[in-house]
Structure 1
Amino acid sequence: MHKVNNSYGLEVHPLRDALYAELHSRPFQVLPSPARISYLAVIVGPEQKRAEFEHFYSLYSSFSGTVPQEDGVCIEVDFGHFKIRRDKHLEFTSYMITHSQVDHSLGFFDQNALSCLPVDWLSTIPGTVLAAFHVAVEDARTVPEPDLTLVKSHFEGMRLVGSRPQNGDAQVWTTFQLHSDGCGRFLIYNKSMSDSQLGRMVQRVVEIETYRLMALLALPMARQYNAELVIMDEQLARTTASLSDSKETLDEQAILSELIDMAAWVEATRAKTSFRFSATRAYHELVLKRLNELKEDEVSGHLTVTEFMTRRLTPAVRTCNTAGTHLESLSTRIDRVSDMMRTQVEMSIQSQNQQLLTSMDRRSKIQLAMQHTVEGLSVAAISYYSVGLLKFLIEAVYDKGVNFDKSLVIGLSVPLVVGSVWLATRKIHKRFLLLAKAKEEK
């Protein structure tokens, strides 16, 4: 929050002025009748945006005009005999060139506004041109409308799409096709609109044509991936069927590897298509909104712009939406099958662990039996050597003159030694068991 220069000394938000300016950043144009208009929509990459502005800036070296100090969302410059308006959008930059000095001795599209610009400047615009078309505006209040045969000749004999927008205040003809000069064409007759109303209507027309092309950018991608998704669906169905077949021996490692490859492909495809499909939906909504704003009336025997668009554009957008939905569905299904596979692998591991524990228990029992046997043998061996040592001691005492029955004493010492060794071994065994139990309790 900070203060600005106002008569009340109020604290205002630092973005207030920018928010007010945002609503007026793209004003509608005021267009005269008659006029010749050319429109370009150029897709500009992030690395080309600065070069594109500098290229636009270079146009001032060819014509007198006020040089902009910095780049902006919308720049409109009047060079006297023509005007040029540059609009920056998220993915593209548009140029609308308006030429009001119409030579009626020429055909509607023989004279166009692009001829006002230097040829070398046009050919070096950074980016790739997606939309390029000419709009011929005639004043039906001073020049009578030509018959349909003459109108069709200006569109090189192609099938016409026409309507009376703004509740009949104008007449629009187009083909939504490229002509011999590589550009599209619109013919507009102004019957009773003011220059401001005409500017708004022309803006809607060029936006409809531009946004429908931007919306269709995803269609080739959707068709390509739809074909691949069908193959991926069949592969996933086979994998799922193999999991449900209890008679088949599964190569779990191979199936997991296959699922990982499929999941990686789906996620990579989603990353490639997510923005494009989302943009298609957004552009389609804008086209529908602009069509609704045209308020068209029918021309007998011809499709209106709205009818043509809803009949041709909407199915294409649905194809893109279907591809996006199919990707999301496939991703979810792969996750579910992967969970099933992981569960089956975990159950297999648990079964193996159970078998291992059973085998270990069996081996432990055998080792315990062997240990008892070894303990018995150990008692006998230790007792044997202990009695031998004790025998040496008894004989040494006897040789020193102590009179006793040497054989009897040696014989009586045997059970005593054996018993002592057995008790000592048991005590050591119990001690180790107590130590092991104490460690388990910890």
Structure 2
Amino acid sequence: MARRTFRIAVAAALALMSASAGALAEDILSLPNLSYRSGPFASTGAPLMNGQRDYMAMINERDGGINGVKLGYEECETGYSLLKGVECFERTKATGIVTQPWSTAIALQLLSRSNADRIPILTPGYGFSAVSDGQIFKWAFNLPASYWDGVSMILRYVSDGNLEALRGKKIVLLHLDAPYGEDPIPLLRSLADRHGFAFVPIPVGIKEMQNQSAQWQRIGVENPDLVLLWGWGTMNAGAITEAVKVGFPMDRFIGIWWSGHDGDLKGVGEAAKGYRSLSWSAPVSDSRAMQDIKKYVLDPKRTEIGEGEFDWVFYQRGVLISMFTVEAIRVAQEHFDSRIVSAEQLRWGFENLKLDEARLAEIGVTEMIAPFATSCEDHTGHSGAWMLEWDGSKFVKQSELLQADQAVIVSLVEAEAKKYAEANRPWAVNDGCAP
């Protein structure tokens, strides 16, 4: 199976980069992706990478690329390893005009050298939340929403918009024992102090992901009013399976967007009915973009995906992630009057995205994502998100669009961004944001 997956990935990359005899003479933009189709996170990594790959393949097949320039989607396998991630970055940075670390730990490692490497770091919906501060983090983007946005939206949702209603309650954060799982902790501690709820972080090591009995015994002792799941890969399935096993109520169990993967819930099925996951993306399989992927890529067998994957949250989120890059390239091409954009120009494109309702409709992704825009000061955009609920067989929208309370987040962003810059001096800020 691993060998077959490798062959498919290689074939897909070759197909994206060249389909004609004169392919070597074509204009191609190198768009590396530090993927993981192997290791403990492969089950969640694969559909995300497939969605990204297939959207770019569709643009190449349907439109001939962007203004005649083909998209050279390339994967470098990391297995979610920090060491391999850095190796992949070093291998691809000479020609790549963007990098996607696909790991908060790898993203932090690259962030420390971003001003020197001068390549945009795209961490869509993950990574260090403080990179929202575009003046400090010139090269990093975590659009369309950060983990701190996610914390705020979840707590506003469960409290009906009044966090004072959480006073006296207890909230557990069941999180991967890694930078990804630790990122929401500063905001949760701050909000707990402000609004008088008890906050209990419970880490899960990578070796414990499939056997969380100790963590759930602790949860049983704590008897929290809410468990937040910041899981990834097999940790998600392990947590949900254990919750069902111990009889923890699903209406008191909510995950961040990376803990809302159809594949993780399929094995539990009806028993996990009512589990919810916040998500800045929503699957809309009959949207024009999705149907064009089916027409131009999947039906002709130019790539392959797993059974049912087309309708999954993660596959369609991967589609949207590639849409971000495609739109940033379009914006940069127009602004700089250049078909072949550089890494510096693409950075400007990511910084000047305006994905309003009209543009999302033109792209064909209406209702798949909420409108948002980035700027020199704001590298996130804060699109908002929906609460999705598992109905026993699939995720469905369970709420209206939720928004984070930026008033409680902005001070933390400013403080953590400033702290990072001071710890990594000399640190070059984005002078373009100066008034």
With the shorter chain as reference, the TM-score category is under 0.3
Larger Rg: 1
TM-score normalised according to structure 2 size:
0.23
Identify the structure with bigger relative contact order (alpha carbons < 8 Å, sequence gap 6+). Answer: 2
Task: Answer 1 or 2: which has greater helix percent.
Answer: 1
- The normalised TM-score by structure 1 is 0.22
